[in-house]
Amino acid sequence: MAEPEILFLDEPTTGLDPQSRRQIWGLVAAYRARGGTVVLTTHYMEEAQRLCDRVAILDRGRLIRLGTPAELIAALGAEHVVELELESGGGQGALDEATLRGLPTVTEVHLSGEGVWALAAVEPERTVPALRALLQERGQHLLRLGTRKATLEDVFVSLTGRALHDD
């Protein structure tokens, strides 16, 4: 196969199993290491974060943000995400975005269609104890609680107000 200066890839790993996806990522990385330029369109934010030097986030055909993955993630104002899911049915006080946004070091709050809250937090070690106290005060019980590093998917949801699979 030829070695073009610019390689255009449109959703190159859609429908692939994880092993095949990683093989494609390896081929793209090797091509880039040899000096090739790749223009990639993808809905997989992990793929963009791994393979791209610069990312353009489009929403409904409109450019809404452009930058390196690190710049876009830093623009969230927090590099960590606290995710929580509550048991259904219990407790006297439902949570809302305004209440969660008032927790220490929280900069962004989103609720997914699956009932999982995602809180962008600067210092999750301060956010989590305050969250647990709030839940206890309101009689709410956790089904799941975790923390992770912020990703490009968090950036997309923050900028568009919806997850990748929402219309």
Name which of 12-16, 75-79, 118-122, 159-163 the model is least confident about: 159-163
pLDDT at residue 165, rounded to an integer? 47
Contact 139, 92 (CB under 8 A): yes
SS3 percent helix, strand, coil of the chain, rounded to 5, is 35, 30, 35
3-state secondary structure of 77: coil
Encode pLDDT of 39-92 as tens digits.
Answer: 999 999 999 999 999 999 998 889 999 999 999 999 888 889 999 999 875 545
Alpha helices by DSSP H, 52-95: 69-74
pLDDT at residue 161, rounded to an integer? 77
Domain ranges of the chain: 6-53, 75-160
Encode pLDDT of 124-165 as tens digits.
Answer: 999 999 999 999 999 999 999 999 999 999 898 888 876 554
CA distance 6 to 11: 16
Q: In the CATH hierarchy, which top-level class contains the domain 75-160?
A: alpha beta
- Give me the mean pLDDT over the 22-31 stretch: 94
String of b and e for 114-139 (b: at least 16 CB within 10 Å)?
A: eeebbbbbeebeebbeebeebbeebe
3-state secondary structure of 71: helix
